[in-house]
Structure 1
Amino acid sequence: MSNNNQYDTLVGAIEALKKRGFTHNFSVNKAGQLEEHSDKHYKASEVILHEFHRFEGNTNPADMSIVYAVETKSGAKGTVVDSFGVDGSEIVSDFMNNAEQKQFD
């Protein structure tokens, strides 16, 4: 059974994931590496994607976002939030496609 897409709102998903230990606020930088506060960087090969959740904006269906729950090989767990669809970041998408996939285990 997949854990994906089980929350109603982006805020609800982030809060629930924090309670489950995904407390770091990561982003993917222009170099295609996961980072937090730009002091530590992780390549996709050093990251496990546990699950993801997509959301459509209430006012505009084109305003879509996605939150990824990830874990680094050093054990840090957190989330990456990105827009989804037309406005989505190809860098983030490519990174997640190259990370170790745990969301279907």
Structure 2
Amino acid sequence: MKRVNNNYETMVEAIEDLKQRGYTHNFNVNDSGKLTDGVDSKTYFPSSVELHELHRFEGATNPSDMSILYAVETDSGKKGTVVDAFGVDGSETISKFMNRVAQKQFEVGK
């Protein structure tokens, strides 16, 4: 079933639903610009990652408290999420990485 980007009220709701759909790894983008999940020493270049969904959230009490949640899959089959601030507080490293991954979030059947 195709999921729509930005279709959750809260980040907690999004993370819980994504976990139920197999996005169980908590990925980070390290200072070298590679994706890692912290569980093992495996890292992934942007060419080894697909972006399946993204969801933006605005803080309920502070509109400038914005975040973005990416649902990704690696070429080894690991599925998980990457969380970043959105807007001026966002990570340039994460943004550069995500701009270079395959953008699959609008394909039918994901």
Q: TM-score, normalised by structure 2?
A: 0.91
Residue aligning to 1:32: 33
Which residues of structure 1 form unaligned runs of 5+?
none
- Deviation above 4 Å: which 4+ runs of structure 1? none
The sequence identity of aligned pairs, in percent, is 64
Q: 1:40 Cα shift?
A: 1.1
CA distance in 2, matches of 1:10, 1:63: 12
Residue aligning to 2:22: 21
Residue aligning to 2:62: 60
The one-character-per-residue Cα deviations of 1:33-78 (angstroms, maximum 9, x if unpaired) are: 0001161100000000001000001111100001000000000000
The one-character-per-residue Cα deviations of 1:17-47 (angstroms, maximum 9, x if unpaired) are: 0001000000111111000116110000000
Residue aligning to 1:92: 94
Aligned pair count?
A: 105
Corresponding letter in the other structure for 1:19 = Q
Corresponding letter in the other structure for 1:7 = Y
Residue 76 of structure 1, aligned match among 67, 75, 78: 78
Which residues of structure 2 form unaligned runs of 5+?
none
Between Structure 1 and Structure 2, which shows a larger proportion of strand residues? 1
Q: 1:2 Cα shift?
A: 6.2
Residue aligning to 1:47: 49
CA RMSD of aligned residues (A): 1.2
CA distance in 1, matches of 2:7, 2:45: 27
The one-character-per-residue Cα deviations of 1:65-94 (angstroms, maximum 9, x if unpaired) are: 010000000000000011100100111111
